[in-house]
Structure 1
Amino acid sequence: MLCRCRRVAPADLGRAARGWGWAGAGAARRRVSTGWSPVGAAFDARQQRSSVVGRSTGLFGVPELSCPEGFQEAQEKALQETERLVRKAYTTPPGPEIVMIFDQLSDALCRVADLADFVKIAHPDYTFREAAEEACRNIGTMVEKLNTDVELCQSLKQLLADKKVMDSLDPDTRRVAELFMFDFEISGIHLDEEKRKKAVNLNVRILDLCNEFLMGTHLPNKIDKCSLPEHIRCNFIVDGNYVQISGLHADCPDDLVREAAYKIFLYPNADQLNCLEELLCSRNHLAQLVGYNTFAHRALQGTMAKTPENVMYFLEKLSDRLSQRTQKDFEMMAEMKMKINPQNTKLMPWDHPYYSGVLRAERYNIEPSLYCPFFSLGACMEGLNSLFSQLLGISLYAEQTEKGEVWCEDVRKLAVVHEKEGLLGYIYCDFFQRADKPHQDCHFTVRGGRLRENGEYQLPVVVLMLSLPHSTRSIPTLLTPGMMENLFHEMGHAMHSMLGRTRYQHVTGTRCSTDFAEVPSILMEYFANDYRVVNQFARHYKTGQPLPKSMVSRLCESKKVCAAADMQLQVFYAVLDQIYHGKHPLKISTTDILKETQEKFYGLPYVSNTAWQLRFSHLVGYSAKYYSYLMSRAVASMVWKQCFAQDPFDRAMGERYRREMLVHGGGKEPMLMVQGMLQKAPSVEDFVDALVSDLDQDFETFFMDSE
């Protein structure tokens, strides 16, 4: 698409500064500012945060966005700029300028769409969210119209057909030109006028259905309180005569509470079921309209996997290799359940997350409260800063925000500075819990990097969103090991955005294939579990005592407990996603497909009158691509073992990592980037071997004797 909006980890597009007043966009701001302060102190609860300084501005320094109505003004400016650029593209002869115009066109649309995509989800003010939602819808409609504009496409076709001109283009420009043409093709540019209009309408309808489905995935279910035993009602929200269930309560030690939550929260909602089935039908119809067998075939163009057949081969191979290990894991969980509750010994889906956690805790004593004092947020941020400095020559500095620049006073702004190249971009850290804030950790690109017409580089701007607890007067924000790992994961996305240095914003940072986009973030999880890295920052917030190596070792070893069953669950989700977006008889309901797939690819029984798929929010953002987590983990595992396991601070390897994998964004074939880093092209069997070997890996081999 001309504007590729996608949220990661679970939306990543570029932003132009021209006509916007972006804070810090000018070249003069690239020098190190005396107003910057150490990153750890910015997140240290014991430091009182100063009030914002300077002039009043709008969100992210965009003057128009000082109020919700500003989205309308921003949208109108973007559409006016779009019209000007489209007219220019119509009359420009074949040459590199055409590609530049297309990228400017994409940037003009994205400068609204990306920012609005974040605001509609994260802003605490409903009026801002509503205005952003409307902007997303209107820009999305315009994008779909442009993607089926025959005259606009013709200007690009003329360039691609001129072999002499194409041969004169540099590789980046040639690839971006081909990507733009690919986006036209999957939108049905080759269809007659009536069918093109149909494709546009389908795309717009799909956007609306995606929003509707996402909202439905989070809605609670209610049941008459008399239907639940009185002694478990206290675990849920009681609303008059009803009990409200808003989650699975997976960590609750009471089997009956987990069972009730599972059956009630996952009870099928007719409207949500219809929404999902219409969404899948619309996607299938669109794919076939533009010439693909299935939506999965359309979605997987340009990925590492390339085809749904390759994805299923990978998932089936992995499932076969996991089979015996998964069965042993389920047997261990069943034995633990029998030990704790002899009256109810059959292992059920609501038992998996709980009893796997019990087994880990019993074997390795990994109670989170033992670890939290060593992982204050400030210490973790300093740890990331130290790692990036040694590995990539990058430092993080806290920068004061202006009035109106952030959507919540808890948001911190970080400047990312390279030791030789200067300021690389900004990270807004929306880390703390608040009412109505989504609980899913996410990375958003608010502005992508690109080389401007005047020769300056447009600095990327991203947001990292977590849901960490607030500090108190005496205790800083303390992270569990899982929270710490998630922080490292999201910072991996941020560094991908910061270090990508593409000429065109269309392929900036994480705007690459989904199955490659997760590699840098998952790779950071390996660093987060290496004692040599952890030892540099994990200190008890009161005593300053370092986290003992034995505790890190226990934590890493504990992750292998029931890891096969956990991975098998991911395989099940990924296969279900493929089947939903592949060929299947429309008379079969999504719930019947769920039941059949669960029996074949998971191993725990389907529970009647439940519809887990209606809570599967990734069917929106990762449609036909949920396998990406597994494939990206396989690549990250290979990169870690081959390149960083021996020395996680190897600067030469860090530079190679940036050069081969981070700098290109989506401007290079993903498998070529992997091949450049590993010095070989991995096969499906290599991916499977990497994942399975992680289950058996002795983590002690990763650790140097640092005690």
Structure 2
Amino acid sequence: MGIKLSDKMFQLVDAVYQQQRTDARLDQESRKALIEERRNYLRSGIGRLSTPGTESDEGTHSVTRLTQRLKSIEAEFLRNLDEKENCIWLSRAELAGIPDDTIASMEVGTGELDGKLKLNLNGMQARWTLTVASLPATREKIYLGVTSGAEENVPLFQEAIRLRYRLAYLLGYPNHLAYKVEITMARTPEAVMDLVMGISDRVMQRLPTEIERLVQLKKDDPAAQGRPDADILLWSDISYYTRLCEEENHSLDHNLIAQHFPLYQTISKMLALFGGSSASQYLQNSGPLTWHLDVFLYSVWNDEQEGGEFAGYLYLDHHPRPGKAGGAQCRPLHLGFERSDGRRHYPSTVLLTNFAKPAPDMPSLLQHSEVVLLFHELGHGIHDLSGRCKYSRFHGAETASDFNEAPSQMLENWCWDATGLKQLSGHYQTGSPLPDSMITSLLLTRGVLPAIKLLPQLRLTIFDTLVHSTDPSHDEEIDVGKIYAECSGIGGISNAGDDCSHGYASYRHLFSGADAGMYGYLWSKMLAMDMFDTVFKQNPLDDIAGRRYRHIVLEKGGSQDEMETFVQFLGRKPSSDAYYRSLGLG
């Protein structure tokens, strides 16, 4: 019944499309909505496969069954990551190198775990701990716990890859990658491969020199000496020795920097900075209006120059708890749109993070990398709250998948600007901003080991592209484990323990909409750096440039072709020069 009803709906949509697609009275956004609505039916097999009572009608039923099963797999995959506690218990000796205030905030074990301390591997603290834990064995335990904690996802991953290929084949595409990128800025798998391989070639040219630097640091490390892997760089080593390299070359202490970024105060300053650049104000609400005591609610208003009207709600959910999604993400709760009477339905958006809770005598302190992450995710919220589209389907960050990261990635640059850092920082005891000497040293680290820093993202991107781009008619069973092992050996970096076998079982992005789309982070970063370098580099806090950016880019959302939006803002098509310069790979 559902299929037949959808067939009838498609016939109506197609009739409207045939009648109005060239109608000059139809505004641009409505025409785009009509085109995409018809396209969505075709991409689900309706109108392409379905002729009631024929073999093609059975094809549509097959597409429906595959789609429903994939949704079930994706939900189960994420539940396995979020609902099962993933932690390890470590002795105080194993926690060597980790600051005392962090250790003081960890749960203390009892009974058989007496004397041990609990490290939550679903939270953001675990990944940061990899940068400071001085014992190689401890880093291996943490890394393997983070990457390989969901073995039950292995068969789900294998099945999802098989079904995605089968679905693409039924719909007339050579593979899942071709199906996904058809509606992005890239358009074709060839464009994706050109981007990924172009970046990969530059990274690989520089990587041996950078690996040699880190291997030498490991050889000189007393904690690593005597181990069989003392002269081998492991994935679990990268964060730790990268930090040492930065600190030794630029007299930098990341823990001292973190003391200038207490979580709650930093968020307040961040919202003030956002407000200035996006012409808006953030007012914190009080009262029982949220789903948990840890959640903050802000009402957002346009400033007087923009009309002073209400813009929407922003929820900030800071800390980990059982059942909450791991990592950091910003999600719309309600999309904005224009009602039939001309009034607006206002958006609500939530920023989910998993920063450690404050201790009784110590606030939650953010590493600079976490400040960048917070700025990035809040950027998605600003995109949502700035949208002024007629239809919810185009609101805010509802754009092509390889564009919607660009506004947030561009805003990360404010965390690498001396003026921005002064405004964002304030010591948790004195309130004083970061000293100039610290800012200078911090900014110099951006160009340290660029190939190494990009490598984890490049590894995931290549893996995602490979597992989703083999022709299913030639290879029904993809050896996911083999592809993952090959990607894990990229650049000659080694794996610890069993990580090479099923680390992909923790890749939540590939089950939350970014399957065959991880290249989009690289594609959109190219756009982001081009916009920043051209418009904001000289003065990131330029109010006039910020308002123009809001009107041309943020307010438009996906209501017009994203390339058209980009060209309207910069007056030309994108260039990759600024991106490669920012990586030190130009």
Superposition TM-score tier, normalisation by shorter sequence: 0.7 to 0.9
Q: Are positions 1:149 and 2:6 aligned together?
A: yes
> Quick one: distance in 2 between partners of 1:221 and 1:528?
31
Correspondence for 2:510: 619
Q: Are positions 1:634 and 2:526 aligned together?
A: yes
Q: Judging changes above 3 Å, is the alpha-carbon distance between structure 1 residues 651 and 147 closer, same or farther for their aligned structure 2 residues?
A: farther
| 1:197-208 equivalent positions in 2, closer than 5 A | 197-208=61-72
**Could you tell me which amino acid in structure 1 is paired with residue 544 of structure 2?**
A
Q: Are positions 1:411 and 2:295 aligned together?
A: yes
Secondary structure class of the residue paired with 1:425:
strand
Q: Judging changes above 3 Å, is the alpha-carbon distance between structure 1 residues 299 and 474 closer, same or farther for their aligned structure 2 residues?
A: same
Deviations 1:427-464 (A, max 9, x none): 01112343443331111100000000121100000111
Q: Judging changes above 3 Å, is the alpha-carbon distance between structure 1 residues 406 and 266 closer, same or farther for their aligned structure 2 residues?
A: closer
TM-score (norm 1): 0.71
Q: Are positions 1:539 and 2:426 aligned together?
A: yes
Correspondence for 1:108: none
| 1:595-610 equivalent positions in 2, closer than 5 A | 595-599=485-489, 601-605=490-494, 609=498, 610=501
Correspondence for 2:582: 694
Deviations 1:575-601 (A, max 9, x none): 1101111115344410111223344x4
Gaps of 5+ in 1: 1-141, 699-707
> Quick one: distance in 2 between partners of 1:625 and 1:182?
19
Q: CA deviation at 1:148?
A: 7.7
**Could you tell me which amino acid in structure 1 is paired with residue 260 of structure 2?**
F
> Quick one: distance in 2 between partners of 1:169 and 1:265?
51
> Quick one: distance in 2 between partners of 1:477 and 1:267?
27
Q: CA deviation at 1:164?
A: 7.4
Gaps of 5+ in 2: 51-56, 99-107, 122-126
> Quick one: distance in 2 between partners of 1:238 and 1:440?
28
Q: CA deviation at 1:557?
A: 1.6
Correspondence for 1:183: 40
Secondary structure class of the residue paired with 1:469:
coil
Work out which of the residue numbers 675, 678, 682 in structure 1 matches 2:567.
675
Q: Are positions 1:514 and 2:405 aligned together?
A: no
> Quick one: distance in 2 between partners of 1:570 and 1:373?
28
> Quick one: distance in 1 between partners of 2:476 and 2:297?
49
**Could you tell me which amino acid in structure 1 is paired with residue 565 of structure 2?**
M
How many residue pairs match? The answer is 544
Q: Judging changes above 3 Å, is the alpha-carbon distance between structure 1 residues 598 and 166 closer, same or farther for their aligned structure 2 residues?
A: farther
Work out which of the residue numbers 551, 556, 560 in structure 2 matches 1:664.
556
Work out which of the residue numbers 322, 341, 344 in structure 2 matches 1:457.
344
Q: Judging changes above 3 Å, is the alpha-carbon distance between structure 1 residues 597 and 477 closer, same or farther for their aligned structure 2 residues?
A: closer
Q: Are positions 1:594 and 2:484 aligned together?
A: yes
Aligned Cα root-mean-square deviation (Å): 3.2
> Quick one: distance in 2 between partners of 1:146 and 1:181?
16
**Could you tell me which amino acid in structure 2 is paired with residue 200 of structure 1?**
T
Mapped contact 2:338–2:390 kept (Cα < 8 A) = yes
Q: CA deviation at 1:237?
A: 8.3
Over the matched positions of the two proteins, sequence identity in percent amounts to: 25
Work out which of the residue numbers 342, 347, 357 in structure 1 matches 2:243.
357
> Quick one: distance in 2 between partners of 1:148 and 1:606?
52
> Quick one: distance in 1 between partners of 2:376 and 2:520?
15
Deviations 1:165-204 (A, max 9, x none): 6332111100011111111111001213222121111111
Work out which of the residue numbers 165, 187, 197 in structure 2 matches 1:284.
165
Deviations 1:656-706 (A, max 9, x none): 211221111111111222222221112xxx33x3332113399xxxxxxxx
Secondary structure class of the residue paired with 1:510:
coil
| 1:312-331 equivalent positions in 2, closer than 5 A | 312-331=193-212
Q: CA deviation at 1:220?
A: 7.0
**Could you tell me which amino acid in structure 2 is paired with residue 356 of structure 1?**
T
Secondary structure class of the residue paired with 2:580:
helix
**Could you tell me which amino acid in structure 1 is paired with residue 509 of structure 2?**
H
Q: Are positions 1:342 and 2:230 aligned together?
A: no
Deviations 1:447-497 (A, max 9, x none): 000000121100000111122333456654433222222221121101100
Moved more, 419-428 or 446-455: 419-428
**Could you tell me which amino acid in structure 2 is paired with residue 312 of structure 1?**
M
**Could you tell me which amino acid in structure 1 is paired with residue 15 of structure 2?**
Q
Correspondence for 2:317: 430
Q: Judging changes above 3 Å, is the alpha-carbon distance between structure 1 residues 392 and 229 closer, same or farther for their aligned structure 2 residues?
A: closer
Q: CA deviation at 1:618?
A: 1.3
Q: Are positions 1:571 and 2:463 aligned together?
A: no
Deviations 1:47-100 (A, max 9, x none): xxxxxxxxxxxxxxxxxxxxxxxxxxxxxxxxxxxxxxxxxxxxxxxxxxxxxx
**Could you tell me which amino acid in structure 1 is paired with residue 508 of structure 2?**
S
Secondary structure class of the residue paired with 1:428:
strand
Mapped contact 1:333–1:359 kept (Cα < 8 A) = yes
**Could you tell me which amino acid in structure 2 is paired with residue 591 of structure 1?**
G
> Quick one: distance in 2 between partners of 1:518 and 1:385?
19
TM-score (norm 2): 0.85
